[in-house]
């Protein structure tokens, strides 16, 4: 048997990259019986029937996985947000940050379309704040290619997923990183105020020495699997302060002598981050139980 990595999955076929090249494989029937679904990014063992076709025999243990989009063994998520068109949203960004960190994926914030900005003061302030939380933040333009070379070292030698709102320029950015891709892009829908979906399936594509998952985007941004007591762990600035709270297990809501609330009151933690934290807590508390 040969080992490789699934780089594309379409209609029950899995395209596995190994040292011998790419082989189109089907999954063994036992996977369906055991409720195992191979994902793009999976390391697998496969039995080749010939140079072009084979069967996946085993899926190796995953270090992490995302559900929607379905992709596994990701080193980092490049969260692509536009400075304008669509408008930059800290609420949506914080939602993405929580979801990818909860999946044990390293987030990197990449802000595009800076060339459209008339006044960069507000976006620069956000960049400064998110860097202070501990995130890498890059400012990039696919049009002018400014900042592109800052991104390449982050991608080199790693498996990354590009994620973000439709219309923020993910495919355009990938085309600049590797012009041979020629990925389909569309303009923003002026009626809906968001981008038209242009990516139809998950696929790992080569960018230099790295692999990047071009995906249809996150079709769900809920907090499934995240408990309210763990949420603050995914807000790095809150996690740092929480050790000084009076009560162990403090939820930073109504408890006395809460270090996180004090940091918000003192301006050490931005109010919008704390507002989002409370909003997400309410969502987690309000979700329907699964049996």
The structure's pTM equals 0.84
Whether the CB-CB separation of 124 and 88 falls below 8 Å is answered with no
Alpha helices in 62-220 (DSSP H): 90-102, 121-133, 148-155, 170-177
**In order of start, what are the domains of the chain with their CATH numbers?**
2-61 (2.40.50.140), 66-214 (3.40.50.300), 228-286 (1.10.40.50)
Whether the CB-CB separation of 241 and 277 falls below 8 Å is answered with no
Q: What is the pLDDT along the chain (291 residues), one digit of tens a residue?
A: 889 999 999 888 999 999 888 999 988 876 776 777 899 999 999 988 887 899 998 899 999 988 777 889 999 999 988 887 778 889 999 999 999 999 999 999 999 877 776 678 888 999 999 999 999 999 887 777 777 888 889 999 999 988 877 666 677 788 888 877 766 554 433 333 334 434 457 889 888 889 998 666 665 678 888 999 999 999 999 999 999 999 988 999 999 999 999 999 999 999 999 999 999 999 999 876 664
Question: Do β-strands 210-214 and 159-163 pair in parallel, antiparallel, or remain unpaired?
Answer: parallel
Identify the DSSP state of 5: E
Whether the CB-CB separation of 185 and 172 falls below 8 Å is answered with yes
Report d(CA 195, CA 177) in Å as an integer: 20
Whether the CB-CB separation of 246 and 257 falls below 8 Å is answered with yes
Residue 203 structure tokens: 């696929």
């Amino acid at each position: 048997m040969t080992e490789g990595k699934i780089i594309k999955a379409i209609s029950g076929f899995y395209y596995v990259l190994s040292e011998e090249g790419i082989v189109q494989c089907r999954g063994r029937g036992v996977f369906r019986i055991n409720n195992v679904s191979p994902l793009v990014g999976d390391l697998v063992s496969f039995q080749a029937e010939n140079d072009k076709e084979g069967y996946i025999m085993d899926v190796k243990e995953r270090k992490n996985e995302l559900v929607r989009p379905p992709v596994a063994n990701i080193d980092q998520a490049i969260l692509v947000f536009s400075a304008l068109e669509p408008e930059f949203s800290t609420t949506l960004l914080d939602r993405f940050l929580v979801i990818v960190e909860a999946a044990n994926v390293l987030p990197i914030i990449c802000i595009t379309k800076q060339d459209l900005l008339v006044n960069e003061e507000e976006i620069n302030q956000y960049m400064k704040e998110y860097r202070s939380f501990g995130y890498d933040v890059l400012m990039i333009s696919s049009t002018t290619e400014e900042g592109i070379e800052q991104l390449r070292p982050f991608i080199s030698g790693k498996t990354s997923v590009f994620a973000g709102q439709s219309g923020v320029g993910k495919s355009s950015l990938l085309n600049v990183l590797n012009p041979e891709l020629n990925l389909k892009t569309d303009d923003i829908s002026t009626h809906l105020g968001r981008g038209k979906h242009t990516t139809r399936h998950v696929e790992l594509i080569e960018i230099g020495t790295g692999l990047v998952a071009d995906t249809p985007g996150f079709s769900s941004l809920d907090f499934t699997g995240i408990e309210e007591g763990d949420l603050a762990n995914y807000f790095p600035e809150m996690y740092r302060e929480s050790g000084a709270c009076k009560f162990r297990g403090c939820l930073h809501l109504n408890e006395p002598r809460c270090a996180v609330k004090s940091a918000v009151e003192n301006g050490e933690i931005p109010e919008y981050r704390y507002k989002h934290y409370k909003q997400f807590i309410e969502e987690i508390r309000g979700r329907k139980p699964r049996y």
